[in-house]
Amino acid sequence: MKKSNLLRAGAVLVSLSFVAVACGGSDDSASDTTVAAEAPASTCEAPVASIALQFPETGDAANLGAPMLKGSQLAVDEFNAANPDACVTLKTFDTQGDPAKAPAVAQSVIDDATILGLVGPGFSGESLAALPLYDEAGLATITGSATNATIQDQGFKVFHRILANDAAQGPAVAKYIVGALAPKSIGIVDDASDYGKGLADAVKKEAGATVKATDSIDPKAADFSAAVSKMKDANPDVIFFGGYYGEAVKLSTQLRDAGVKATLVFGDGVKDQAGYADAAGPAAEGALIACPCKDGSPDFIAAWEKAYKEVPGTYGAEYYDAANVLLNVIKGGAKDRAAVQAAVNKYDAAGITKQIKFAANGEATEASTIYMYKVESGKITYVADIK
Amino acid sequence: MSNWLIYRTFWDLTVSGIVLGLIYALVALGYTMVYGVLRLINFAHSEIFMVGTFGVLISLTKVFGISLFEDGQYPYRSGLMLVAILVASTVAAMVVSGAGAVVLERTAYRPLRGAGDAYGAVVLAFLTGLIASFLFTDSMMVDLAIAAVITGPLSVVYVRIFRKGRQAPRLAFLISAIGSSMALAEAVATWGPDERVIYKTPRVLEKKVLFNFLGADVRIDYVIVALGAILMMTSLLLFVNRTRLGRGIRAVAQDAETARILGVNVNSVILVTFLLGGAMAGGAAMMFTLVYDQTRFNIGFLLGVKSFTAAVLGGIGNIKGALLGGIVLGLAENYGSAIFGGQWKDVIAFIVLLTVLMFRPTGILGESLGKARV
C-alpha cells in the first residue's frame, strides 16, 4: 500500500519536473536574449578606477532603471575603447528605488575604495536617504533622474544634478496645461511618494483656482475606484497624475473604463514606452507626458541603437552625460574622491543634452527646459519645448 | 475635505465597493473554512489566490493565444467564443488555485499534524533537493537533475519521520504558513523572462455600461462578478449544509477528535476544505483579472490581508460572515476614501474592524466554531 503510493507519487513528480524543465528551458533562452541585448562587455583588464551606479535595477519601477544602466554602460564602454590603458569599470548597485534599502546600499558603495564617483541615485526618495552618507564620505554623485526639488537645498556638497528639477517641471507642466490646453477645470491625483506628491503639489500651486478636485492613491492597491469616482464627479477637462508608470497604467485604464474623457497629463516617471504606452494601450492614447529628459544627439541615438537594438530610453542620454562627466574627470587626473569632487564642481564642457556646469547647490546651470511628449498611435513622441 | 462629495458619488462608490467586497469575500472563504476545521490562519491563502490569477493569464494568452492588444485596440470577443473563454479561464483559475491549495495542505500542514504520507514526503524531498542544489549551481537543468537524484533517498527518510506521527506545536503551523506564502510568491516572482513585472491580462470582455443605477454606471463586468460570486457562495453553502462531505466538514469543525472516533476521515475532510477554499480563491482570481486586467507576484499580499480582515470582521469560521465582512470592508474603504481622501483608505478599513471587534469580539455574525454552522 505505502509502496504503491510512493510509486504513484514518483510518477506525478517526474511529470512535474518535465513541466519545470520546460519552464527552465524557456527561462534559459530568455536570459540568453537579454545577454545579447546588453552592451558589449567592456574589456577592461587593468582598471585604474571604478564608478558606481545606484539605481532601481529590479522592483516596481525597474523599467525606468534599465536606461540608466544602458546609458552609463554605453559611456563607460566608449571611454574604455578610447582609453584601453586607463580604463574604468562600472559597478552597479540595486536599491529597487526603495528609500529603505538605499542607506545599506550606499554604505557598500562607500566601502569599496576603488569607487571614485557615483552616477545616480536614480530616484528622489533613495537620494534623500543615501546622500547624507555620500556627503560624509565625500563621494561625488551626479544624478540624471532624481528630480525632487528639495534635494538641492539640504546642503549636500557632493550632490549634482544634470537636469531640471520638479520645481521647474511642475510649473512648466502647469504652464503648458493652462496655456496650450486651456481647460476650464483640472483634477490632480498623486501617489503619495516624495516624487509624485512633490510634482503634483507644484502643479497644483501654479494652476491655482482651476484645480477642482484632488486625491491621493495607494500605489500598492489594484483598485482606484474612489479616486476615479471623485474625478468622474468633478468632470475636469484635464487630469494630472504625479507618480510612476505602473500606477499610471491602472489609473488611465480605470478612468477610461469609467467614461472619463479628460486629457491625461503625467510627469517624467511615466515616460516609459513599454511600461506605460505599451501596457495601457488604448487608454494611454493622447496622454501628455512632461519630462526634463531629452532624446540625445543623433550620434548618441545611433550608438545606442547599435548597442541595444532599441531607441534610447528615458534618461538614457542624461546618464550617458553624467557618466561622461565622471570619466572625463578621472581621465583629467583626479585620483581620489576629494579630487573627483573638486573637479566635478569645476567641470564645464558640452554634453549631448546641454552644456554641463554645476552651480554651488549642485544644479546644472543650463537645466531649465522641460520637454513635452505625447502618446500618438501607441508611441511616445516629442511635441514641444516648454521654456 | 469635500464632505458632500460622498452624497454625489454615493451610489458610484457603493457599486464599486460591493464588487471589491465580493472579491474579498470569496478569498475570505478560504481563510474562514480552513480556520473552521484546523483552527489555523492559512497565511499562504493569499498566494493561492495569486497563482489563480496566473492561471487566468496562462489560459488567456497561452491556451487561447490572445494578445494584449490587437492593432492598438482591446482584443474583444463576443458571443459563444466570449462565454467559452470566460468559462475556460474560470475553470483554469479554479483548478490551479484548488490544486495549489491541495499541494500546500499535503506538504506544508499535513506532515506537521503527524499525518504525513508518501506524496508529501516526495514533494518535500524534491523541494529540499532543489533548494539545496540552488546553493551550488545556477543552471536550472542541473538543479533539477540533482533534486531528482536526492528525492529518492530523502523521501524514504521523510516517510520514516512522518510515521512517528508527532503533532507539531501550534506555532510551527503558523511559521509553515508564512514560509510557504513567501516561497510561492518568490517562485512566481522569478518565473518568466521578466522578473517581478506587472503582467497585464488581455481584456476579452468589452466593459459596456449595462444600466444606470441612481447615477452609478453598472458595468457588465460588475454584474458578472456579482452573479458569479453569489452563485459560488450559494453552491458552497449548499455543499456544506446538504452533502455527506459537507456534513463531514461541519463535524470536524465542531470537534475533530470526536469526528475521528465516529469514523470521519479527518485528513480527507481537511483536504476537501482546502480544495474548496482554493477553488473559491480561483473564482475570485478570475473576477479580479476581469475587473482590473492585471496580475503580479505580490498581488495577493494586500488583498489577502484585506480578505483576512473581512473574515474576522464577519466572524471567522462563518461562511455567511465572510460575505458580510467582505462587503462591509469594501464599502467602508470606498466611503472612507471619498470622505477623507485615498491615502486614508486602509486607516478607515482598520478603524471599522477595531470598532466592530470592540463591541463584538467574535465579529459581526460571531464565530460559529461550537455551533457547527461553519
Does A147 fall in a domain? yes
Whether A171 contacts A201, CB under 8 Å? no
Same domain, B351 and B265: yes
C-alpha span between A275 and A60 (Å, rounded): 10
Same domain, A318 and A381: no
Q: In angstroms, what separates the C-alpha of B253 from chain A's closest C-alpha?
A: 28
Mean pLDDT of A235-249: 94
Please state, in angstroms and as integers, the Cα–Cα distance from residue A262 to each residue in A145, A182, A285, A287, B291, following that order: 28, 12, 12, 10, 21
For residue A246, list chain B residues with Cβ-Cβ distance below 8 A.
198
| Cβ within 8 Å, pair A229-B12 | yes
Same domain, A303 and A278: no
Does B373 fall in a domain? no
Same domain, B23 and B156: no
Does A14 fall in a domain? no
Does A30 fall in a domain? no
Same domain, A305 and A282: no
Mean pLDDT of A8-14: 51
Same domain, B132 and B253: no
Average pLDDT, chain A: 86
Same domain, A333 and A227: no
Domain count, chain B: 2
Does B364 fall in a domain? no
Same domain, B85 and B185: yes
Low-confidence stretches of chain B (pLDDT < 70) are 1-4, 193, 195, 368-374
Is pTM beyond 0.95? Reply is no
Does B238 fall in a domain? yes
Nearest CA in chain A to B12: A229
Q: What burial class does residue A369 get, using C-beta atoms within 10 Å of its C-beta: 0-12 exposed, 13-18 middle, 19+ buried?
A: middle
Does B45 fall in a domain? yes
Q: In angstroms, what separates the C-alpha of B97 from chain A's closest C-alpha?
A: 16
Same domain, A133 and A159: yes
- Residue A209: per-residue pLDDT: 84
Query: Between residues 155 and 194 of chain A, which touch chain B (CB distance below 8 Å)?
Result: 192
Does A55 fall in a domain? yes
Same domain, B97 and B237: yes
Does A86 fall in a domain? yes
Same domain, B153 and B209: no
Same domain, B160 and B239: no
pLDDT tens for each residue of A136-169: 999 999 999 998 888 999 999 999 999 988 888 8
pLDDT tens for each residue of A51-99: 999 999 887 778 889 999 999 999 999 999 988 888 899 999 999 989 9
Same domain, B152 and B84: no
Selection from B228, B221, B201 nearest residue B63 by Cα: B201
Find the DSSP H helices in chain B: 5-8, 10-38, 45-58, 79-104, 118-134, 140-163, 170-189, 220-242, 244-254, 256-261, 266-292, 299-314, 319-340, 345-359
Same domain, A84 and A215: no
For residue A285, list chain B residues with Cβ-Cβ distance below 8 A.
72
Same domain, B247 and B185: yes
Domain count, chain A: 2
| Cβ within 8 Å, pair A20-B144 | yes
Same domain, B231 and B144: no
C-alpha span between A137 and A135 (Å, rounded): 5
CATH number of domain containing A264: 3.40.50.2300
Name the pairing type of β-strands A370-376 and A288-291: antiparallel
CATH number of domain containing B83: 1.10.3470
Does A125 fall in a domain? yes
- Residue B185: per-residue pLDDT: 92
Residue A15 contacts B where some CB pair is shorter than 8 Å? no
C-alpha span between A291 and B99 (Å, rounded): 47
- Domain assignment of residue A71, given as a range: 49-165+295-353
Does A190 fall in a domain? yes
Question: Percentage of chain B surpassing pLDDT 70?
Answer: 96
For residue B207, list chain A residues with Cβ-Cβ distance below 8 A.
257
Does B343 fall in a domain? yes
Copy the grid coordinates of residue A357: 556646469
Does B370 fall in a domain? no
Same domain, A247 and A379: yes
Residue A215 contacts B where some CB pair is shorter than 8 Å? yes
- Domain assignment of residue B73, given as a range: 5-116+165-191+199-359
Check residues A330 and B371 and name the one with the higher pLDDT.
A330
For residue A226, list chain B residues with Cβ-Cβ distance below 8 A.
13, 16, 333-334, 337-338, 342, 345
Same domain, A79 and A107: yes
Same domain, A151 and A189: no
Same domain, B88 and B208: yes
Nearest CA in chain A to B215: A233
Residue A350 contacts B where some CB pair is shorter than 8 Å? no
Same domain, A122 and A267: no
Same domain, A102 and A188: no
Same domain, B228 and B307: yes
Does B111 fall in a domain? yes
For residue B150, list chain A residues with Cβ-Cβ distance below 8 A.
none
| Cβ within 8 Å, pair A27-B192 | yes
| Cβ within 8 Å, pair B292-A216 | no
Q: In angstroms, what separates the C-alpha of B72 from chain A's closest C-alpha?
A: 6
Same domain, A157 and A299: yes
Q: B51, B293, B333: which to substitute to probe chain A, counting the most A Cβ within 10 Å?
A: B293
| Cβ within 8 Å, pair A6-B159 | yes
Whether A310 contacts A67, CB under 8 Å? no
- Residue A5: per-residue pLDDT: 54
